[in-house]
Amino acid sequence: MNTVSSPATPITLSEGFFSRRSWWDWLFAALVLLGGITVMVRYGSNLDGYETGILLATVPTAIWLGWLWRPLAGLMVGVAALSLLAIASYQNGAEAPTLARAESVFWLKYFLSSQSAILWMCMLVFMSTLFYWLGLIGGEHGATMELTGSRLAWASVVMALTGTLVRWYESYLLGADIGHIPVSNLYEVFVLFCWITTVFYLYFEAQYKTRSLGAFVMLVVSAAVGFLLWYTVVREAHEIQPLVPALKSWWMKLHVPANFIGYGTFALSAMVAFAYLIKQQAGETRWYKLAPLGLLGLVLCFEPIVFRRGSTEAGSSYWLVYFGVSALIVGGILAARRRIASRLPSLEVLDDVMYKSIAVGFAFFTIATVLGALWAAEAWGGYWSWDPKETWALIVWLNYAAWLHMRLMKGLRGTLSAWWALVGLAVTTFAFIGVNMFLSGLHSYGTL
């Protein structure tokens, strides 16, 4: 019997990892390597063994991240260029560099000193949030508005990172014994929270090819900026302070960033959960079905009112206005839920983003907890002391461990998982801020 053979399917070998690299990838790698070598040559004698190890690990990690997601490479190069420009502005002139130059040099005064850059971050976050919402509820120009919101979010990250790096340099201008990585108090870690949360959102935005979630996620970043502005004006928290003895450790460089990757992604997952519930209940008309969502939203809005304790009259008025605006936003979202839901991605996509955010956050929060235990053993002689901050960190960890267990083992999906993630934001917020306000202990470094 005759058979007709089909054309042979050509067998192709997949391209190698390095062969897929573009000229930009190799240029970026060369710049990172050059930067690492420069730091080692100029400052290697001042680095201890741990810091040298961190530097050697940072170079390949930065290259890998830039290759994994190319926008990160552009972000790193842009931030490095602006930071070096700021440092050069401080050093320009015959006199020794001082913080006073931040008031006399144009670029420093209005753009690139740490405080100026962070204030630009605050403005850009608010603008990004506004454009994301205009895009979400807008008509034919909605996509353009959302694109503008996304670009403003990227710009806010650039300014936040520039401000952080310049602040690190500025701390050394005050004295070699004062200089430290700026992740040591509430002001500095709120900046850290803002850009970490935004970067992770932008990654998911690119991966899922949807910008509609930016309206929800940037709300929580805007809330953090609102606290940051109050903390700056009322507490003058932007002033660089020397480290307390317990924080003079290289462990801080690892523990705190890992911790705030957890906080940032947990907050991201909660806002995605909020979007999930809005989409799910878009057609709901019974008030008692919507009441729990509105009530939780108001509780989260009301939470900052407790910051009025010890505030001036102006500070108290600020938080009353903050609560009023937040309540109006929650009410507006519930009122416009049908229009908003029509622009949101599918429930399956929202559920997947929520899960991946919590999974990433849980992994880093676990690492941070282990690092914190090792740091505690070195600083206080014991791995665990049931300090209030440690206890609430454990509660946060158990909460998300249970969420992941129920999802992976029991198939938890839908409404319950979304509510759980949203309530988890309240638990995380108390561990983040509430402990510093109401409970004293070994971790009372950033009191309000």
For 197-223, the pLDDT digits (tens) are 999 999 999 999 999 999 999 999 998
Maximal CA-CA distance, the chain: 97
d(CA 225, CA 207): 26
Look at 147 and 100; give whichever has higher pLDDT.
Answer: 147
Q: How many residues does the chain have?
A: 448
Nearest to 253 by CA among 164, 163, 343: 164
Q: Is the distance from CB of 428 to CB of 265 less than 8 angstroms? A: no
Q: Is the distance from CB of 358 to CB of 403 less than 8 angstroms? A: yes
Q: Is the distance from CB of 214 to CB of 208 less than 8 angstroms? A: no
SS3 annotation, 384-431: CCCCHHHHHHHHHHHHHHHHHHHHHHHCCCHHHHHHHHHHHHHHHHHH
Among the residue ranges 90-104, 246-260, 352-366, 401-415, the one predicted with the least confidence is 90-104
Beta-carbon neighbour count of residue 231 at 10 Å? Answer: 20
- pLDDT at residue 95, rounded to an integer: 73
- pLDDT at residue 261, rounded to an integer: 96
User: What residue spans define the domains of the chain?
Assistant: 244-448
**Whose structure tokens read 């006199």?**
95
d(CA 365, CA 406): 18
- pLDDT at residue 13, rounded to an integer: 44
d(CA 62, CA 354): 26
Average pLDDT over residues 286-291: 61
How is 149-217 classified by DSSP, letter by letter? HHHHHHHHHHHHHHHHHHHHHHHHHS-TTT---S-SSHHHHHHHHHHHHHHHHHHHHHHHT--TTHHHH
DSSP 108: I
Look at 251 and 258; give whichever has higher pLDDT.
Answer: 258
Given a cut of 80, is residue 167 above it in pLDDT? yes
**Whose structure tokens read 């900046």?**
191
Q: Rounded mean pLDDT of the chain? A: 85
